[in-house]
Structure 1
Amino acid sequence: MSTLQEKKPATMYENVMQQYNQVANLVGLNENIKKILGITNNEIIVHFPVKMDNGEVKIFTGYRVQHNNALGPYKGGLRYHPTIDVDDAKALAMWMTWKTSLAGLPFGGAKGGIQLDPREHSLAELERITRRFTYALGDNIGPDQDIPAPDVNTNPQTMAWILDTYMSTKSPSSRSHNNHIVTGKPVGSGGLEGRDRATGFGVFLTIKLYLASQGKTLEGKTFIVQGFGNVGQWASQFMVEEGAKLIAVQDAHATLYKEEGIDPITLTEHTQPRKGSIAGFTEAEEIAPDDFFGLECDVLIPAALGNQINQDNALSVKANLIAEGANGPITTEGEEVLLKRGITIIPDILCNSGGVIGSYFEWLQNRHGEIWQLDEVMQKIEKKLTENFKRVEKAVEENEVDWRTAAYIIAIHRIELAYTQRGIFP
């Protein structure tokens, strides 16, 4: 009997550490700064009771990991998902540090969430869970300390509950100054016009910019999307408006295919009364989930969860371009296979950064007491994203590296510069 055990797939945290160490060694990052950036600043785990609609009390576990704040307050989303744990939160927080740094924003990186499946709870229960989680976090979050935002299975309503709970715990004199405790709020509660589509717009824009750098356009290009939440929906709409054709969509419940093209608006309308599920959509054929990545297409947009593309299914990918709408959707082993096959990957810290850029403008809008219109907001996001894209494109050419490595080089260098100039306390 063989004593050899099958190698376990790398976790998201192991992936992000491999990515970080590889680039840190490549650029000769100062060893002391390398130690600092290789760990998190704070890992907050809270257990809290919430009374369910039937009177039963359940205990929930929530996380908030704060990776680094050398460039500014911690910034990052909160996700509600059964699989979220402290290691996932650590990985996602580190990615947020690189993302905000690459974008040139005055933010650090954080991430968190609650272990739960929101489909198993009523709206009233989700409100009580969110408010109790916010209370449990206490002063670990704040408009100049740590600013949460929506992520997987959270939305503007979730942010509104956090905002109200946080403000309710503060003195009356300070409440009016705390609107920017969260971003991604409803517009009526101080949210930003266009924040809902900012991440999906960024995915679309980086694809468009990449194709333009190759002398191509989106007209007639076929694409497939994994995950049809906020990011997948908006990215698809922008892509189709530019002349591309959505031929397949996959979520946790179904995999849809239609060679003639799927209308993303019609599919979005189908998902709304079904808690986001694409299952049962009659205007496309349902195919086996394992066939999804192997579909013939020009562009693949993984916009679901992490570690979806690995060394096994990476061999079946037919797309020439992968745009990471999700955080960490490709394992390091899977990426190695893809790069060897000549497939270009627009990395998450660039590709889906439209969301945090939109969040930055919402944070500014609240701090300054201003209200910006949709067209103005989208122009700001497009300008910032285009500048970031051009910087990464230049780094790819100058360093003769892939796009992720180039993006990491820029992100890590900016933080290194901050530590070098400021020194390390004490």
Structure 2
Amino acid sequence: MATTAKPQPSMYENVKIQFEKAANVMGLDDTVKKILSSTNNEIIVNFPVKMDNGTVEVFTGYRVQHNNVLGPYKGGLRYHPTVDIDAARALATWMTWKTSLAGLPYGGGKGGIQLDPKKYSQGELERITRRFTYALGDNIGPEHDIPAPDVNTNAQMMAWIADTYMSTKSPAERSKNQHVVTGKPVGSGGLEGRDRATGFGVVVTLESWAKLRNTSLEGKTYIVQGFGNVGYWAAHFMNKNGAILVGVQDATGTIYNPEGIDPEALLRFQADNGTISGFKNTQDYNSAEFFGIECDIIIPAALGNQITADNAESVKAKVIAEGANGPTDTEGEEILLAKGVEIIPDILCNSGGVIGSYFEWLQNRNGEIWTMDDVIIKLRRKMEDAFNRVVITGGQYKTDWRTAAYIQALVRIEMAYKQRGIFP
């Protein structure tokens, strides 16, 4: 008799399982647990946009605001076919934990549009982005909800959002609203170093891991899934540490070279060819077996639910640094932990991006200009502090680092609710 495959849990189901585990381990206040178990607001907008050929398409955009007890909602906007309300809920909830763990004055939000940006021209993407911003209206704002780049969105799109949002305000108010988004181009109020903040933060956590284990990243082999902004910058800073990139996977293919792959040359090849496949001195590799490549470190920096019960057993790495949000599902994580694989969880590992966004927000808000050196020094300090707090909490509660990171985040939120109370 044929058996049906067990359905994979959604990202939001994974979030809820992780939250329940941490809440139970730490004994989270029941009232706070009840509040955090649901989102504050879920916004869905349908809006028409005229295409280059004169036809009109209707797009669906999402913005989920999970919690704002610590400050304005903060989180990215992604353009991807997988964007739906369930994914937005999961990502917004992770942002609440991430901003709290990092010690930022923010809550969690996330959203985007369900589309494949490769199918649209630059002009169409500009009209889609501006129309989405207009449709969101005052559901976003510099002291209310502050979007940022995410999967398939970039600095140029953030500039369009800022310009559109500011244009809806009176002339006297426009300059006060520049920080409605972060991740803007430097010439439009962006932060020096914001482009590399997430990837740099991933590597800082790996440096901290290596120090904890009395080793170094020198000579360590690693693989990267996703060679966009996060994956490239992570590889850039890993190579500066003397680590050796042996495998890369993205939507266009999977390549392997046990002798090493130059991330700078690969970036140029990708820009010229639109793919990583065919890069010199590499062989194409079976995509389904990517996470089983012999290496010391895995950096998943693409989408969620990539390491699962189906492939976790094949992992040979010592540590996984989660550059993406939710790349490891709960079943896959159980297998990895049983094998002794250490996981630097997403809400810690990739928080360099939102920390960089916080610096940009402060820069705009205070009318300051921060240098690259300012950003890198401050970012390293916050990432190392968060890593050390998670390790200490893991030891106190005798639990894994993901649960420890959640506990660190939840303690801060619980304290805010207990001090402020619930409005009657």
Determine if the TM-score, normalized by the shorter chain, exceeds 0.5.
yes
Please give the per-residue CA displacement for 1:121-142, whole angstroms capped at 9, x wherever unaligned: 0000000000000000000000
Cα separation, partners in 2 of 1:273 and 1:125, compared to 1, 3 Å: farther
Which among 387, 396, 399 is matched to residue 397 of structure 2? 399
Q: How far is the alpha carbon of 1:279 from its aligned partner? A: 2.6
- Choose the corresponding residue for 1:363, options 361, 364, 387: 361
Aligned partner of 1:192 in structure 2 is: 191
Equivalent AA in structure 2 for residue 290 of structure 1: A
Who is 1:316 aligned against?
314
1:287-366, aligned counterparts within 5 Å?
287-366=285-364
User: What is aligned with 2:381?
Assistant: 383
Superposed displacement of residue 283, structure 1: 3.3
Q: Structure 2: which amino acid aligns with 1:360?
A: Y
Q: Quote the residue 1:44 is aligned against.
A: 43
After TM superposition, the structure 1 = structure 2 runs for residues 162-177 of structure 1, keeping only pairs within 5 Å, are: 162-177=161-176
Q: Is the 8 A contact 2:320 2:343 kept in 1?
A: yes
Identity %: 67
Residue equivalent to 2:18: 19
Q: Look up the equivalent residue of 1:160 and give its one-letter code.
A: A
Candidates 415, 418, 421, aligned match of 1:417? 415
Q: Cα deviation per residue 1:19-63 (whole Å; 9 max; x = unaligned)? A: 001111221111111110000000000000000000010010000
Matches of 1:368 and 1:287 in 2, distance apart?
50
Per-residue Cα deviation, 1:300-330 (whole angstroms, up to 9, x for no partner): 0010000000011000001010000000001
Which position in structure 1 is the counterpart of 2:220? 221
8 Å contact 2:207–2:216 — kept in the other structure? yes
SS for the counterpart of 1:424 is coil
Provide the secondary structure at the position in 1 that maps to 2:156.
Answer: helix
Instruction: Tell me the distance in 2 between the aligned counterparts of 1:243 and 1:51.
Output: 50
Paired with 1:128 and 1:235, the residues of 2 have a C-alpha distance of: 32
SS of the residue corresponding to residue 163 of structure 2 reads: helix
Q: Aligned AA for 1:374?
A: M
Are 1:286 and 2:277 matched, yes or no? Answer: no
SS at match of 2:176: coil
* Structure-2 residue corresponding to 1:263: 262
Q: How far, CA to CA, are the matches of 2:6 and 2:317 in structure 1? A: 28
Structure 1 position 259, deviation (Å): 1.0
What TM-score do the two structures reach when normalised by structure 1? 0.98
Unpaired runs of 5+ residues, structure 1, are none
Structure 1 letter corresponding to 2:28: L
Q: Using the alignment, how far apart are the partners of 2:4 and 2:30 within structure 1? A: 35
Alpha-carbon separation, structure 2, partners of 1:290 and 1:135:
41
| Distance across 2 between alignment mates of 1:25 and 1:218 | 35
Aligned to 1:95: 94
- Could you say what secondary structure the match of 2:76 adopts? strand
What corresponds to 2:210 in structure 1?
211
Question: What is the match of residue 81 of structure 1?
Answer: 80
Distance 1:45-1:274 versus aligned 2 partners, 3 A rule:
farther
Contact kept in structure 1, 2:250 and 2:302, CA below 8 Å: yes
| Partner Cα separation in structure 1 for residue 162 and residue 12 of structure 2 | 30
* Post-superposition CA distance 1:240-264 (Å, at most 9, x none): 1110000000011110001110000
Structure 2: segments with no counterpart, 5+ residues: none
User: What CA deviation, in whole Å up to 9, does each residue of 1:81-106 have, x standing for no partner?
Assistant: 01110000000000000000000000
Query: Which amino acid is 1:323 matched to?
Result: A
1:397 positional shift: 1.6
Equivalent residue for 1:237? 236
Asked if structure 1 preserves the Cα contact closer than 8 Å seen for 2:202 and 2:352, the reply is yes
1:119 offset after TM fit, Å? 0.4
RMSD between aligned residues? 1.0
* 2:271 counterpart residue number: 272
Paired AA for residue 75 in structure 2: G
Opposite residue 30 of structure 1, the aligned amino acid is: D
Other-structure match for 1:35: 34
Please say if 1:254 is aligned against 2:257. Answer: no
Matched residues in 2 for 1:175 and 1:274: separation?
A: 41
Q: Which moved more, 1:15-24 or 1:278-287?
A: 278-287
Shift of 1:271: 1.6
Structure 2 length as normaliser, TM-score? 0.99
Q: Distance in 2 between matches of 1:244 and 1:58?
A: 46
Q: What secondary structure is seen at the aligned counterpart in 2 of 1:176?
A: helix
- TM-superposed deviation, 1:5: 4.4
Q: 2:154 & 2:9 partners in 1: Cα distance?
A: 29
Deviation of 1:174 after TM superposition, in Å, equals 0.4
1: CA distance, partners of 2:16 / 2:273:
37
Output the CA distance in 2 between the equivalents of 1:422 and 1:394.
Answer: 28
Count residues with an aligned counterpart: 424
Alignment correspondent of 1:67: 66
Q: 1:328-372 CA distances to partner (integer Å, 9 max, x unpaired)?
A: 001100000000011000000000000000000000000000001
- 1:291: Cα distance to partner? 2.0
CA–CA separation in structure 1 for the residues paired with 2:361 and 2:130: 21
Letter in 1 for 2:321: A
Q: Tell me, what secondary structure is at the counterpart of 1:178?
A: helix
- Secondary structure at the residue paired with 1:154? coil
The alignment partner of 1:328 has SS state of: coil
Q: Which amino acid counterpart does residue 115 of structure 1 have in structure 2?
A: Q
AA aligned to 1:331 is D
Query: How far off its partner does 1:7 sit?
Result: 2.1
Contact 2:25 2:397 (C-alpha < 8 Å) held by counterparts: no
